[in-house]
Amino acid sequence: MTDESYTQYFKLSMKFFEGHRTPIQGGRVRKVNKMNKTLIGVMGPGDGATEDEMKAAFELGSLIAREGWVLVTGGRSAGVMDAASRGAKSAGGLTVGILPSKVARDVSEAVDVPIFTDMGQARNNINVLSSRAVVACGMSAGTASEIALALKAKKKVVLLKLNQESEAFFKSLGGDDVVVAENPREAVDAVKKIIGA
Amino acid sequence: MTDESYTQYFKLSMKFFEGHRTPIQGGRVRKVNKMNKTLIGVMGPGDGATEDEMKAAFELGSLIAREGWVLVTGGRSAGVMDAASRGAKSAGGLTVGILPSKVARDVSEAVDVPIFTDMGQARNNINVLSSRAVVACGMSAGTASEIALALKAKKKVVLLKLNQESEAFFKSLGGDDVVVAENPREAVDAVKKIIGA
Amino acid sequence: MTDESYTQYFKLSMKFFEGHRTPIQGGRVRKVNKMNKTLIGVMGPGDGATEDEMKAAFELGSLIAREGWVLVTGGRSAGVMDAASRGAKSAGGLTVGILPSKVARDVSEAVDVPIFTDMGQARNNINVLSSRAVVACGMSAGTASEIALALKAKKKVVLLKLNQESEAFFKSLGGDDVVVAENPREAVDAVKKIIGA
Amino acid sequence: MTDESYTQYFKLSMKFFEGHRTPIQGGRVRKVNKMNKTLIGVMGPGDGATEDEMKAAFELGSLIAREGWVLVTGGRSAGVMDAASRGAKSAGGLTVGILPSKVARDVSEAVDVPIFTDMGQARNNINVLSSRAVVACGMSAGTASEIALALKAKKKVVLLKLNQESEAFFKSLGGDDVVVAENPREAVDAVKKIIGA
């Protein structure tokens, strides 16, 4: 490619996302839209997750993928994080895992995009800030921190498979920003409503 | 100071903390001990704090200072953070504030050592990790995240002025790592027991 | 779906990534591999980037996408971050942007997966930890911190479009962990060698 | 103390910092000023520090303490961090260490206030943001990231004991925000000028 043609190519490409049709995609002419995808978080227990919670998480992940959303989890190869990611991959979705560690150990193999924070549990705040809405599936200290951080950031949270004390507490804490769902289908419908999809 | 005497001075100083007597403290000979101080965290609502919670926080700060402990809070000039820091200063204590921001705005004037994290609520994890024990005084989304992060880090938490749903939830979440106190005096006694002081 | 068939479906899906053929992908039988993708970081100036640096970043992004790697940048709609992301999208790649902010403002529209950290420049460490290798394109204070953090984390860094002082400094700092490239093609070849692709 | 007198005490104490004279300090009447102390950072190599750098760091710490400033370092029991903290303690100063870890291991015993971030090298950003001015003493990858992050945050940096490539690079990067000092005394004089003390 000559330098002149490269400059021309570059300038055209810079227009790529400005709503113009682009002539540079292998000859195909197509309308390009804004790329930022919708990320939905699923948070829940790791090693202490029950089979019931993991089953729900798997289905959640699958339904989230079917909506065309990107799944965000804590990324570890354990519990709800892992099951939700597997569910999303089983439906052909894209999965992001935001990890507490700095090395690729203990990462769910169902995570496409592992983000290594080396921040321990402070990464929980990144999980919720990166999610348009958060579904909590089951309860643990880490999950409780994620729900609380989401409410602090004015994010809406859908609760699934929480025990009575947990539900009562987070409803008293979050008011209308907290929605209780009976099953994964209801949870995803609640997310749809939250994000206006 | 000649270079030789400086080297000698340096070497002596390096022995400063090894349990030897030091000849370099303005002539006074004294035994020096390990310096790391005991930091105790007080967490609670900011702008939404009630007068009752602030009063308790002020007394907590005062009692913590009287024990010779360093007070750690979220550092903002609001609510429980501010009141606890004022209490500690009223008793001649040292106060550390770990702030969500990056600039010296909205910092409690009763904070001696402001730490600017520019991390928003992710700084809550630093608050609890830096505290040998945490006292929660009142409830808010931020406070809930701090209790949850403390329990996740296997820190013990003393609850003061929490409503019934909050107490029930955190007791179900934390088990023996959660202690309920009736008043600031009881809270500080619980901290003493926790840290073996 | 009956509860029994669901359990069976779930168990089969859990085997999805264990190297077995899966019967559950819409009838298609296929071998599934580990999902974790290879992330490559491109770091460089934001608002102060020159046209030459942006042109190189665009080409870098495009070449990275053509290798099947995921592009990681700081995610803002400025300078090298933006140009590299546009380049990757022009070649049909996947782009991740790890942002300093907590809200979707100032995000490059060529970023598929925006990660909101609310950590300011501390997010630079996440950028480099999440990248298998880092290409620095141009120089700024933020970029310098990213190269230094990458070297601290024992990551290898490819330098492109750096001035003489910068090259001399980082070579003296990083030794063999620093590779100088003359153009985007050389930079990508260096990355290939680094990650053993 | 009756409840009424407590309320009165509390209210008086809340006025404690408003510039009024306070009657509650053990009978002594005194004017109270704003409490936020001036924190000055000393950054430098850990395990790889030379004796010359540690000697300079010790003297820096000592001089900083003599100015009444609080010393901020990375807090580990190694290299420049440790030596500067020892120097500050030898002069009766107060020392803060902002640590990469989450547990009290590898903490300099000359640190009064250990802050545990569990953020690895991302804590470097907190070090510089919490410092009114930063003195870099010696060079390493971690130190380089701290100087770069300081410059990114528009903090002024004093360079001491840097090699020629490092000095040339950071001067080209930081312009007037970078000051080169020949010895600890000059470095502290430069800090004085920077903070207007």
Mark residue B196 as left, alpha or beta (left: phi above 0; alpha: psi -120 to 50; beta: remaining).
left
* Contact residues, chain C, for B118 at CB < 8 Å: 119-122
Rounded to whole angstroms, how far apart are CA atoms C172 and D24? 59
Establish, for the pair of chains A and C, how many residue pairs have beta carbons separated by less than 8 Å.
123
- Higher model confidence: residue B31 or residue D168? D168
B140, B164, B165: best mutation site toward chain A, by most A Cβ within 10 Å?
B165
Which chain B residues are within 8 Å of D115, Cβ to Cβ?
Answer: 96, 98, 115, 126, 130
Half-sphere exposure of A152 (CA within 13 A, CB side): 28
User: How would you classify residue A55: left for phi > 0, otherwise alpha for psi between -120 and 50, otherwise beta?
Assistant: alpha
- All residues of chain C having their beta carbon less than 8 Å from the beta carbon of residue A22 are 90
pLDDT at A196 over 60: yes
Phi, psi angles (nearest 5°) of residue D37: -85, 165
**pLDDT tier for residue C197 given thresholds of 50, 70 and 90:** confident
Tens digit of pLDDT for each residue in B91-142?
A: 999 999 999 999 888 999 999 999 999 999 999 999 999 999 999 999 999 9
* pLDDT tens figures, B35-90: 799 999 999 999 999 999 999 999 999 999 999 999 999 999 999 999 999 999 99
- Could you tell me which chain A residue has the CA closest to the CA of D120? A118
What is the tens place of the pLDDT at every residue in C46-72?
A: 999 999 999 999 999 999 999 999 999
Which residues of D lie closer than 8 Å to C, measured between beta carbons? 119-126, 139-142, 144-145, 148-149, 151-153, 163, 165-166, 168-169, 172-174
Q: Per-residue confidence at C105, pLDDT binned at 50, 70, 90?
A: confident
Q: What is the DSSP string of D91-157?
A: TT--EEEEESSSSSSSB-TT-SEEEE---GGGHHHHHHHT-SEEEEES--HHHHHHHHHHHHTT--E
C-beta atoms surrounding C22 within 10 Å: 17
Name the residue of chain C whose CA is nearest to A126's CA.
C117
Question: What's the pTM?
Answer: 0.89
| Residues of chain D positioned with their CB less than 8 A from the CB of B53 | none
pLDDT over 70 for what percent of chain B?
83
Checking if the pLDDT of D27 tops 50, the result is no
Q: State mean pLDDT over A70-91.
A: 98
State the best of A145, A171, A172, A176 to mutate against chain B, taking most chain B CBs within 10 Å: A145
Least CB–CB distance from D125: residue in C120, C144, C163 = C120
Q: Which ranges in chain A belong to alpha helices (H)?
A: 3-14, 51-66, 79-90, 123-129, 141-152, 164-174, 184-195
Asked whether the beta carbons of residue D109 and residue B36 sit closer than 8 angstroms, the reply is: yes
CATH 1.10.3210.10 assigned to C39-195? no
Given this model, what pLDDT does residue A90 score? Answer: 97
Residues belonging to chain C with any Cβ–Cβ distance to chain B shorter than 8 Å = 102, 118-122
For A79, the closest chain C residue by CA position comes to C14
Q: Which residues of C touch B119 (CB under 8 A)?
A: 118-120, 122
User: Which tens digits make up the pLDDT trace of A4-49?
Assistant: 555 555 555 555 555 433 333 333 333 334 679 999 999 999 999 9
Q: Average pLDDT of D57-71?
A: 98
Name chain D's partners: 3 or more CB pairs within 8 A: A, B, C
pLDDT tens, D75-117?
999 999 999 999 999 999 999 999 999 988 899 999 999 999 9
Instruction: Name the residue facing C115 among A83, A98, A102 (closest C-beta).
Output: A98
Q: Which residues of B84-97 are buried (b: 16+ CB within 10 A; e: fewer)?
A: bbbbbbbbebbbbb
Q: D86, B17: Cβ pair inside 8 Å? A: yes
Distance from CA of A101 to the nearest CA of D (A): 10
Q: Which of C145, C165, C169 sits opposite D149 (nearest CB)?
A: C145
pLDDT of C196 over the 60 cut: yes
Average pLDDT value for chain A: 88
Mean pLDDT, chain B, integer = 88
| Nearest by CB: D144 against C123, C140, C148 | C148
User: Which chain A residue shows the shortest CA-CA distance from B123?
Assistant: A122
pLDDT of B1 above 50? no
> Please, what is the average pLDDT of chain D?
88
Question: Residue D147 is encoded by which pair of tokens?
Answer: 């100087």
Range list for CATH 3.40.50.450 in chain B: 39-195
In angstroms, the CA B39 to CA B50 distance is 25
Supply the pLDDT for residue D137: 98
Burial status of residue B132 (CB atoms within 10 A of its CB: 0-12, 13-18, 19 or more): buried
